[in-house]
Structure 1
């Protein structure tokens, strides 16, 4: 299956002037949602505080994830690496990346914060202006084929320019491996876009639906505010 090139897009995450019209959708556990969706909780396996073995998305986003998975070639699955993310987990990821920059020699706090903003949303408990994953509308994922995870050019949470979704579209003399990576990223991009998600251009694995960023890119109203905790009111068992 050949998809067209991933188009260039303007990236602007300053969507805080929009007002969330919370739709009240519950979160859905993803591990039993569809045989074409697998869950590999990356941050749990890395030992981050507050993580769990399940991944969750809002009901509408979860339904669209199933739609995307159904577009995959036979023998392929979507592999969810992360979905809803608590404040505790977000803060842990943010601080870990901050410390890694300091260890690399970064010392100017303003420059550190600027670099952080490219890859990790600042943790917040403001449900009206949530970070994408706090809303339950953001998902990090890849694709597995019959022989394992497809080659995407970087590991999950790689913070180099190679992680940019269009990086392999812009190579002037791509190798055979580069072309394979480009095909795989195109596959993930187009099935997710067709299902109603938007992509964050700095990260090939990150897609959103119903969030502030999604609303800005699609000229719609954001429908997912922040969810601060897991309880019976906001989780629907399958």
Structure 2
């Protein structure tokens, strides 16, 4: 299946964001949502505090994810690496990346914050202005085929320019392997966008629906505020 190039997306983080009008959707567990979707909780396997074996998304996001999965070729499925993310997990990721930057020799605090902002949202408990994963509207994922996970050019959470969604679109003379990677990213991008998601251009694996970033990219109203904890009343 051939898909067109991934289009250029401009940074929208400084654009005006309408206030969230919370729609009240429940969360849905993804492990039993569809046979075309599997869950591999990446941060749980890495040992981050507060993580769990299940992944959750808002109901509307989950249904769109299932719709995207149905567009994959036979024998392929989406692999969810992360969905809703608690404040505790977000704070741990943020501090972990901060320490890695310091270990690499970055000492200027302003420069550290700038680098952090590219890849890890600042943790917050403000449910009116939540980080994307705190809202239940953001999902990190890849694709698995008959022979395992597709080659996407980097690991999940690779914080280099190679992880930029369009990186392999811009190579003047791509190798055969690089063409495979480019086409795999195109496949993921187009099935997700066709299902209503937007992509964060620095991360090939990150997609959103109903969030503040999604609202800026689509000129719509964000419909998901923050969810600070998962309990029986908020899970369907």
Superposition TM-score tier, normalisation by shorter sequence: over 0.9
Q: SS of 2:214's equivalent?
A: helix
* Distance in 1, Cα, partners of 2:18 & 2:176: 44
Change beyond 3 A, Cα 1:145–1:40: same
Partner residue in 2 for 1:170:
170
RMSD: 0.8
Q: How does 1:219-238 map to 2 (within 5 A)?
A: 219-236=219-236
How far has the Cα of 1:15 moved from its partner? 5.6
* Distance in 2, Cα, partners of 1:212 & 1:88: 21
How far has the Cα of 1:18 moved from its partner? 1.9
**Per-residue CA distance 1:175-206 (angstroms, 9 max, x = gap):** 00000000000000000000000000000000
Partner residue in 2 for 1:98:
98
How far has the Cα of 1:145 moved from its partner? 0.1
**Per-residue CA distance 1:116-173 (angstroms, 9 max, x = gap):** 0000000000000000000000000000000000000000000000000000000001
* Distance in 2, Cα, partners of 1:26 & 1:99: 35
Aligned length, in residue pairs = 236
C-alpha contact 1:25 1:58 (8 A) present in aligned 2: yes
Partner residue in 1 for 2:186:
186
Q: SS of 2:141's equivalent?
A: strand
Superposed structure 1 runs of 4+ greater than 3 Å apart: 14-17
* Distance in 1, Cα, partners of 2:95 & 2:86: 14
Partner residue in 1 for 2:150:
150
* Distance in 1, Cα, partners of 2:87 & 2:150: 30
Unaligned runs of 5+ in 2: none
Structure 1 length-normalised TM:
0.98
How far has the Cα of 1:11 moved from its partner? 1.7
Q: How does 1:1-238 map to 2 (within 5 A)?
A: 1-14=1-14, 17-236=17-236
C-alpha contact 2:17 2:215 (8 A) present in aligned 1: no
**Per-residue CA distance 1:62-112 (angstroms, 9 max, x = gap):** 000000000000000000000000000000000000000000000000000
Structure 2 length-normalised TM:
0.99
C-alpha contact 1:15 1:213 (8 A) present in aligned 2: no
Unaligned runs of 5+ in 1: none
